[in-house]
Amino acid sequence: MSDFVIPAWFEIGSLVVLSLILIADLLLVVRRPHVPSPRESALWVGFYVALALVFAGLMFAFVGPQAGGEFVAGWLTEYSLSIDNLFVFVIIMAQFAVPKKMQQEVLMIGIILALLFRGVFILLGAALIENFSWIFYIFGLFLLITAGQQAFSGREDDEERENALIRFLRRRIAITDEYHGMKMRTVVDGKKVFTPLLIVLIAIGTTDLIFALDSIPAIFGITQSPFIVFTANVFALMGLRQLYFLLGHLVDKLEYLKYGIAFILAFIGVKLIFHAMHENELPFINGGEHIEWVPEIDTVTSLLVIVATMAVAVIASLIKLRLEHRYLPTALTKPGDDDDDDEATDAAPAPAAVPTSTTSGPAGDDRS
């Protein structure tokens, strides 16, 4: 367990401030739906990263270096998993040709769903850890399996899962081929039908649920503080919408990113199993006694491994892109796009058949 106590005033104050920031972000999207320029997206991403680092500094100052280190390691882990989540968002937006001006609102809904799902799993995870120390064995094995799937399954598997969902829904409910703003239901020829937005939100919600199942055991391998787990997830998801518009065209080209994430998951899985062995109470393992010879992996080591792994994965991917002359240095969405498409995006057709390959940019690049 953690060797620090977080003051109640710090927890309450942090949650209030984070809630206000998220509400302000939501209101901004609702009041001014648009396609952010690369500069605007970069500024927002930088703001949220700076905010996370300021919060880490406050954790160091008011709670202690262990708490601060656990937050930074947890935030970086969740941020790397969120970037992988971002790739699936790119696939979903491209498959359904979501109009560019709707993408901000759709992404915001996806982020809210992700926070809700992760909040539920954090409460469940904390309760399990409190009552059953052996749950770390299960969490560790789960992460090792997830790491293997991440490393050895192609990203086309994500597309295949989405295709199966589309076929299932289209067979059972009436869905129009056109978007009608953010409406999920509309009337066509006097008959009420669903719009493609319903499938988009179901696909994003399903993705959020799957990634919550992966991410929560991963961060509990770094810290057992529910407050740190939750705030690390919030900071990892804040700015994800802007990161989509900034790097969406590049995420699928970072070829070694998935191997870096897989290594991090495997590393944390091993750390969890080592921790479970130290706390062992299962009678059929070492006679129910603690296994003292197994090394404990501390927070500093975890942080260094996570940072080094992501740095190597990203740098190696960019080097390969440069060698193959495949790097696209400019974002595919222009600052003026939101002015040009004011009316055109109100009713954009969705594709009748889902493509089997992804585009090279955010779904806003699909011409409908």
For residue range 223-239, list pLDDT tens digits in order.
888 899 999 989 988 87
User: Strands, DSSP E only, in the chain?
Assistant: 185-188, 191-194
Confidence of residue 326 (pLDDT cuts 50, 70, 90): low
In this predicted structure, what is the pLDDT of residue 162?
53
In this predicted structure, what is the pLDDT of residue 323?
81
Task: Check whether 7 has a pLDDT greater than 70.
Answer: yes
Arithmetic mean of pLDDT, 56-72:
92
Arithmetic mean of pLDDT, 194-199:
80
List 186's β-bridge partners, or say none. 193
Confidence of residue 165 (pLDDT cuts 50, 70, 90): low
CA distance 258 to 263: 9
User: Which amino acid is residue 368, in one-letter code?
Assistant: S
Q: Which of 118-122, 156-160, 345-349, 357-361 has the highest mean pLDDT?
A: 118-122
List 182's β-bridge partners, or say none. 180
Arithmetic mean of pLDDT, 271-289:
80
Note the pTM of the prediction, 2 decimals: 0.73
HSE at residue 192, side-chain half, CA atoms within 13 A, is 3
Instruction: Please choose, from the candidates 23, 91, 64, the residue with its C-alpha nearest in 3D space to the C-alpha of residue 234.
Output: 23
Confidence of residue 84 (pLDDT cuts 50, 70, 90): confident
Q: Are 98 and 246 in contact (CB under 8 A)?
A: no
Q: Are 179 and 102 in contact (CB under 8 A)?
A: yes
In this predicted structure, what is the pLDDT of residue 351?
44
Arithmetic mean of pLDDT, 170-174:
74
In this predicted structure, what is the pLDDT of residue 164?
66
Min mean pLDDT across 53-57, 179-183, 330-334 is at: 330-334
In this predicted structure, what is the pLDDT of residue 158?
53
Arithmetic mean of pLDDT, 256-271:
87
